[in-house]
Structure 1
């Protein structure tokens, strides 16, 4: 906690000093000075190791201080705004430094290793600011052992370092069921297999077996069987095969289907037939809301809870717990103690760096589950092909219990022994590859199951904006709705005469539409707070999340087309791609014809250009981008026709793969309503396009309907 007025002396004690002016207190001045020094060093040339360490520590502290400022309820809103503005200034200099020396960009990643030098510098900067350092996952506790697990005799460890929140409802669950019966057969599966291969180094040959490739990367799956699904939902045959395998007793899956083939539904229904509850889903933040929605859709009889922040709103009795990687460190302790029987890790390539804290926490949880029950359901979901950087799959195979840090375990070791071969035999490699695949690797491409899925479809990806962005957008919605209410009240009073209490009257639906029409006719894209400005504000708030998802797709499937309506949204997306080291081309309305063609050619012909960032209006027609089969729609169109035209840049004659368009929608905002309006008016109730090129008969005035929804909601809330 803050200790203003104190500062460490050179002997480890504290020395009293005069209180500094308020803008010089705290950690931010420390960060500002440090980041300017690093930027100056970057301008002189490539950063030295000490400067790289400072760069990483400043980035860590900016995130921590931003979270602390947002959570501080003891100060006023003006103070929080000013502090966040100062932190944004530091972050801007970090970005400039990264542009000068791009080798530091990986240090900004959540999975970047925090070295001991960085930990020491971080602590020193906190102390110089007169603050107690916040606990950092992996800080050494008493006994000298880093990592998520605690020693049994660790009671004397620093109380602040070991404090992690436990949601109240989780405590209630633990009190209701204090004794989790262990599965004594679990240890049997983990006993080492002793045989002729015991003295061989086998992990290297196993990885090499995959680097050499093979005919298939998919285990034999049973025929699809009938699976109970909610009314109106039906599994595609390739999905039903995985669920059938789980029903038959298979419990570990590396589900590596290409994006768009429904891995989430497969995992949820596999957990249902395996009765793998409580089930934990560890997912990227950008798909956390989507996971919860899919769980409620496919398995509505099983309650789902989403962990946010410190988890105050968690339902401790839920069957399905969804948590994102970024906050897993805060919750790993209670998650390990609630008796999980299943675990799904989405975008599992996020744990490829075993030294990162998130990888260690995920592996720790899997280990705790397997130590308690014989065969839990453990599923790693990723769209990354197995033949690229196969050693990155070490952590995933360890998650699934197939190997440990040094050797194959149980079933895999027995399968290798059964081959009768050793790594000295050429035939060992295809046999070893088959042995690993048979443990549970499932890899299907869109083209492999093209008969199962539509040739062209739109999949909605709901995302949660951060608290400040959501609050800002909801405030803007209310301001617009209240202005509409004032116009409505004035029109109703003019109709009924002065003195009538219009607030107490039933809602006049006809007048609502008339007022919405007046607002629509008087609004334009350059005016102040109107429906256009509101949707642009939502687009800016979604830009980073949409770009993050496009980056994931590019890593999984190759080239991706990213569409946005507004230039500032395109700018924000391109900044995200640059920070992540992803090459992109940009197709905009202000380009010459020659420059635009050069951008398209770069995307189509250069294998290293992974993303085409396109203006929805400028690139929505006349371009051929069929080298990609995935499209990200970062902003909603006002008509389905405009959306379809954008998708048709990819879904063209000659496209030999099914096309998936991922439509990013901001939850808890008018964005959701606009998406519903577009679909209902265009007859896209299932959001699945049939591949026809027929245009929607007439453009729908979605702006008008969105305004009607805002005004109606505000009037109904007033009446209630």
Structure 2
């Protein structure tokens, strides 16, 4: 007997509810994520899938509870199946606790999450809301409406634009797009990311670089490029223009970028950086390309030199300067610490991506020099590549752009072929990924080096420090004037008088309170503490363990608090600890992979401590002697250390701190002269404190004249 219409409809409805729609897709997907967690740490792709399942499960539950046309039994059965999916999500999150935050409705949603959600909804036959059918382009406007009122135009910018109101004509023949046949209907961004997630094919993620030239004709006198740096510059000279320069810290990425701009004639050049390295960039431009001028943009840019070659601006103030930057006609752009733009929904990322697209369109041939610098392009997941690839013009929000797409087409594979993934990874690398580790180029490096990072103290504390420095200089000058007018002025030379006055001031400073050279340097250390901790956090995420040295407890306290807020575990080595507790802290740093930073007292941890689990040292405050600084660095640079050691010395620009750093370096010649027989100019026996005071007084005398 044939089934009735009612029976057929009932059977059809049950089949649809059990085997079609979104729930079967979610059930299969959640089992895949569960299996991944059982095998070990959940992969980035499965983390994205986990979040999408949670999103769609909540949406389906809300829909089922209010849907019309469902019987009570059907509603109860559907909710029961959704509860089963929720139970598997909960068990998986209990196995891998890093997934718990993704269950929160407020968890941030990435581009990859949105794309996978749309894909699953389409597969389930669910009609997308109109606003989700195709994401709106994010680069429609350089200056978003909400930032329009904040825009500033530094005075000299208008003058420069008027002096050259026309862009040079673009005579480059238009490129004919290569035909895309094999990959025409494939979604490719996901497979490209998967190729890196799996490390398909293995090997270093470094493009093929030419051999270095026999003669270095690029670096200025008394500066020599290392072979790995020369190879990068030679690649630029041969015409390559887009790079993810991901060398480990300490391998000279800044110098390579500065010289790349010179070789490519990519001026004017825009450089976007974290505030902590802004002053160092300007110094590196002057060091490596002395015929080029750099200008640093502060605040509203009132002191900007609009006729400079290189414009250095920090992320935090970029939103005020979008308007004039978009019209300046930059021929190149460098983004330092490029992992800071990984969240494409953040205003910071949108600003950078909008400017990069603008610069590409306004550069003849649409081929500007674009360099993303970061020792850690991937912070949490392989999706972090997306923003960097978009900045470089390799992809847009949805797909590879023509040059990369053509390279993938040439490989002869589709994502259905196993060979696609190693070939695709190599194709992306050859677009311009350059990654070298310290250990790989150890023959090019000295075994130990100190790198100064000048920082600008442009807050209220920084201004008070500079005022205190001027006040101390006035105090010394008044003494100098009185002594010059008296008997001593006739008996002593000017230089001898300067030395005598500064020696008196130094003796008084040791026994009297009030503003003096010691309190001033301590205030500078307090002002640098946050910037130094921020740089230590960046290093820890880039290369692993970091040793942070400071002289004063309050600076250490600030650093530990800021590092904890950044989610980094620290140990502390101080003078008030027992020997047993101190050794526990040292062992934890050397053996526990979860401990990222050792925050150390320069005096308490400067001797007798082994911290060779790290090869990077941050010197937040300056020592008064080179020997003390060297002892601190040697806690890391010891027998058994397998990597070159780099000490990053944080120096407050335009303060006495910079002079003290210079004086310490001068004192370093003593050991080389006494122990190694190196012929160096004698520096004398005066203390750094005395020489610093003499420097202040000479400056005041010169200013008065």
- Shorter chain as normaliser: what TM range? 0.7 to 0.9
Taking a change above 3 Å as real, the CA distance of residues 188 and 505 of structure 1, as seen in their structure-2 partners, is farther
Q: Distance in 2 between matches of 1:385 and 1:320?
A: 24
1:263 is the counterpart of 2:250: no
Taking a change above 3 Å as real, the CA distance of residues 515 and 220 of structure 1, as seen in their structure-2 partners, is same
Which has the higher mean CA deviation after the structures are superposed, 696-705 or 313-322? 696-705
User: Does structure 1 retain, via aligned residues, the 8 Å contact 2:180–2:409?
Assistant: no
1:223 is the counterpart of 2:211: yes
Q: Which residue of 2 aligns with 1:560?
A: 546
How much has 1:274 moved relative to structure 2? 0.9
1:252 pairs with one of 242, 249, 253 = 242
Q: Distance in 1 between matches of 2:170 and 2:670?
A: 49
Q: TM-score, normalised by structure 2?
A: 0.75
Q: Distance in 2 between matches of 1:363 and 1:557?
A: 26
Q: Which residue of 2 aligns with 1:587?
A: 573
What are the equivalent positions in structure 2 for 1:110-509 lying under 5 Å apart?
A: 150=141, 161-162=148-149, 164-181=151-168, 183=170, 188=175, 191=177, 194-213=180-199, 214-225=202-213, 226-373=216-363, 374=365, 375-384=367-376, 389-495=381-487, 508-509=494-495
Q: Distance in 1 between matches of 2:690 and 2:453?
A: 24
Q: Distance in 2 between matches of 1:421 and 1:543?
A: 52
Determine helix, strand or coil for the equivalent of 2:472.
helix
Q: Which residue of 1 aligns with 2:699?
A: 713
How much has 1:176 moved relative to structure 2? 2.0
Taking a change above 3 Å as real, the CA distance of residues 232 and 262 of structure 1, as seen in their structure-2 partners, is same
How much has 1:161 moved relative to structure 2? 3.9
How much has 1:553 moved relative to structure 2? 0.7
Q: Which residue of 1 aligns with 2:658?
A: 672
Give per-residue Cα distances to partners, 1:122-162, cap 9 Å, x unaligned.
xxxxxxxxxxxxxxxxxxxxxx999775499x9xx79x944
How much has 1:337 moved relative to structure 2? 1.0
Q: Which residue of 2 aligns with 1:600?
A: 586
Give per-residue Cα distances to partners, 1:329-352, cap 9 Å, x unaligned.
111121111111111111000100
Taking a change above 3 Å as real, the CA distance of residues 477 and 372 of structure 1, as seen in their structure-2 partners, is closer
User: Does structure 1 retain, via aligned residues, the 8 Å contact 2:339–2:378?
Assistant: no
Taking a change above 3 Å as real, the CA distance of residues 684 and 251 of structure 1, as seen in their structure-2 partners, is farther
User: Does structure 1 retain, via aligned residues, the 8 Å contact 2:570–2:596?
Assistant: yes
Taking a change above 3 Å as real, the CA distance of residues 263 and 551 of structure 1, as seen in their structure-2 partners, is same
Q: Distance in 2 between matches of 1:248 and 1:361?
A: 30
User: Does structure 2 retain, via aligned residues, the 8 Å contact 1:525–1:533?
Assistant: no
Q: Which residue of 1 aligns with 2:629?
A: 643
User: Does structure 2 retain, via aligned residues, the 8 Å contact 1:227–1:240?
Assistant: no
User: Does structure 2 retain, via aligned residues, the 8 Å contact 1:187–1:371?
Assistant: no
**Structure 2, gaps ≥5 residues long:** 1-100, 102-107, 111-134
How much has 1:192 moved relative to structure 2? 7.8
Determine helix, strand or coil for the equivalent of 2:312.
strand
Taking a change above 3 Å as real, the CA distance of residues 685 and 256 of structure 1, as seen in their structure-2 partners, is farther
Determine helix, strand or coil for the equivalent of 2:443.
coil
Q: Which residue of 1 aligns with 2:37?
A: none
Q: Judging by fraction of residues, say which structure has more helix.
A: 2
Give per-residue Cα distances to partners, 1:263-305, cap 9 Å, x unaligned.
0110111111111111111111111110011111111222221
Q: Distance in 2 between matches of 1:172 and 1:655?
A: 54
Q: TM-score, normalised by structure 1?
A: 0.74
Runs of 4+ in 1 over 6 A off after TM superposition: 144-148, 504-507, 696-699
Give per-residue Cα distances to partners, 1:621-642, cap 9 Å, x unaligned.
1111111110000111111000
Which structure would you say has the larger Rg?
A: 2
Q: Which residue of 1 aligns with 2:616?
A: 630
Cα RMSD (Å) of the superposition?
3.1
How much has 1:181 moved relative to structure 2? 3.8
Q: Distance in 1 between matches of 2:412 and 2:428?
A: 16
**Structure 1, gaps ≥5 residues long:** 1-102, 104-110, 114-143, 497-501
Q: Which residue of 1 aligns with 2:127?
A: none
Taking a change above 3 Å as real, the CA distance of residues 162 and 487 of structure 1, as seen in their structure-2 partners, is closer
Q: Distance in 1 between matches of 2:388 and 2:218?
A: 30
Taking a change above 3 Å as real, the CA distance of residues 235 and 684 of structure 1, as seen in their structure-2 partners, is farther
Which has the higher mean CA deviation after the structures are superposed, 558-567 or 171-180? 171-180
Q: Distance in 1 between matches of 2:332 and 2:439?
A: 31
Q: Distance in 2 between matches of 1:227 and 1:544?
A: 40
How much has 1:488 moved relative to structure 2? 3.5
Q: Which residue of 2 aligns with 1:570?
A: 556
